[in-house]
Amino acid sequence: MEQKDLKHIVAQFAIEGNVAEVKPLGNGLINTTYKVVTEGSAPDYVLQHINTAIFPDVEMLMGNIVAVTGHIRKKYEADGVADIDRRVLSFVPANDGKYYYEHDGKFWRVMVFIPDTVSQTAVTPETSRIVGETFGHFQAMLADIPVQLGETIKDFHNMEFRLQQLREAVAENKAGRLAEVQWLVDELEKRAEEMCKGERLHREGVLPKRICHCDTKVDNILFDKDGNVLCVIDLDTVMPNFIFSDFGDFLRSAANTGAEDDKDLDNVNFNMDIFRAFAEGYVKSAKCFLTPVEIENLPYAACLFPYMQTVRFLADYINGDTYYKTQYAEHNLVRSKAQFKLLQSAEAALPAMKAFIAEQLG
Ligand code: GN1
Ligand code: MG
């Protein structure tokens, strides 16, 4: 987009200072991001185009984000935390008071740029412990948020819904691929009841939904130059879910010794060193609000996400690859098998996981 247009959009927001330049920032896969450089001592800003193909309800999306960042800010103010502007994102309203601006059918938002930060991407026991502690703390701060947030992606981690999608795919067998994967469908069906435990416990009133981040990974944390955690970013998927979402989905990617789509299943195993480091950090900061049912089911969460991802990849394979981008014809099948191997390895580690969690509480 041209400078002139970008500057026109920025001008619709209540920012301080004069804009010198708007230039591309980062390499996010979902939203398009720019840095707004201002003259003099005014802060710089981040301008983002929101991807409405993935997040269609911008009003809900920004309502969630403003509620979450506002709640965290209030807590920090009450606790006298230093440098609050570096510890929580601040979104800037448009001149009409809304936290987004629509221009030619596209939706934009602006937040304050936090200078002198560092990102990390390496998954090690050390960074995994930090991720556990940071996201446990993030959930803890939001455990008493007084407003009801919306689901920015409906039924995103609803296991019953994901199984229903698989069953529909099986019933339709659109791409004629069912026969070769029937064995895997059977393996998944064998576990279906156990894996829908979360939804069941919720209906029974013993498992709450809480505000989760739902994209728990080390690159969604900003660090300062000395390696201290500053804040959690990428808040689009923040929504009510079982706390299992943040716990299980991190481990699904981080505690896999192989690749998500590894063709060599011998590479794929559940890494207990990563589990232990992450779980230790998470339980330390989250045990102040977690219920016994939630804590007891953390090892279940570590199995749930490889299971859910197997279900999703396999349903897409059976449907003829309509959701996930694929690089070759069998890609979704290869992914399904790799996630299933990870599930089996996590299942084998269940006793060790349970023992470790019990130790953390002792
Ligand atoms: C999708 O594209 P990516 O990696 O951000 C998917 C996640 C899956 C993941 C599996 C909106 O995320 O739920 O776990 O692929 N996101 C959506 O690789 O469906
Ligand atoms: Mg991703």
CA distance 51 to 68: 20
Least confident of 24-28, 167-171, 226-230: 24-28
Task: Return the DSSP state at 110.
Answer: E
Among all bound ligands, the one having the nearest atom to the CA of 54 is: 1
Tell me what percent of the chain is helix, strand and coil, each rounded to the nearest 5.
Answer: 50, 15, 35
> In the predicted model, what is the mean pLDDT of residues 193-202?
98
Is ligand 1 within 6 A of the CB of residue 234?
no
Residue 29: which pLDDT band, with cuts at 50, 70 and 90? confident
**Residue 303's pLDDT band (boundaries 50, 70, 90)?**
very high
- pLDDT confidence bin for 356, thresholds 50/70/90: very high
Query: DSSP assignment of 235-254, as one string?
Result: -TT-EEE-THHHHHHHHHHH
237 lines ligand 1 (CB under 6 A): no
Nearest atom in ligand 1 to the alpha carbon of residue 29 is: 5
CB 114 within 8 A of CB 108: no
| Interval 76-93: pLDDT, tens | 999 999 999 999 999 999
Neighbours of 195 (CB within 10 A): 21
Residues 6+ apart with CB under 8 A from 196: 159, 160, 163
> What secondary structure does DSSP assign to 26-62, as a single string?
---SSSEEEEEEESTTSPPEEEEEE-TTT---HHHHH
Centre of ligand 1 from the C-alpha of residue 312, in Å? 10
Is the C-beta atom of 127 inside 6 A of ligand 1?
no
Name the residue with the closest Cα to ligand 1, atom 4: 29
The response to whether residue 309 sits with its C-beta less than 6 Å from ligand 1 reads yes
**298-319 vs 272-286: helix crossing angle, rounded to 10:** 120
Separation of alpha carbons 172 and 163, rounded Å = 14
Structure tokens at 188: 């998944």
**Best CA proximity match to 230, nearest among 79, 341, 111, 116:** 116
Residue 50 has pLDDT above 90, yes or no: yes
The gap from C-alpha 346 to its chain's centroid, in whole angstroms, comes to 20
The answer to whether the pTM exceeds 0.75 is yes
Q: pLDDT by residue (tens digit) across 143-180? A: 999 999 999 999 999 999 999 999 999 999 999 999 99
β-bridge partners, 24: 34
State the average pLDDT over residues 6-35.
Answer: 93
Instruction: Identify the CA nearest to 111 among candidates 172, 62, 57.
Output: 62
Quick: pLDDT tens for 317-338. Answer: 999 999 998 999 999 999 999 9
321: left (phi over 0), alpha (psi -120 to 50) or beta: left
For residue 217, the CA-to-ligand 2 centroid distance in Å is 9
How confident is the model over 274-300, as pLDDT tens digits?
999 999 999 999 999 999 999 999 999
Where are the strands (E) in the chain, listed by range?
19-24, 32-38, 45-50, 91-92, 101-103, 106-112, 117-118, 210-212, 221-224, 229-232, 239-241
Q: Are 63 and 72 in contact (CB under 8 A)?
A: no
Dist. CA 19–CA 325, nearest whole Å: 38
Sequence-separated (6 or more) residues with CB below 8 Å from residue 86: 114, 117, 224, 230, 231
Atom 6 in ligand 1: residue holding the nearest Cα = 324
pLDDT at 26: 84
Residue 343: what pLDDT?
Answer: 98
Are 117 and 243 contacting, i.e. CB atoms less than 8 angstroms apart? Answer: no
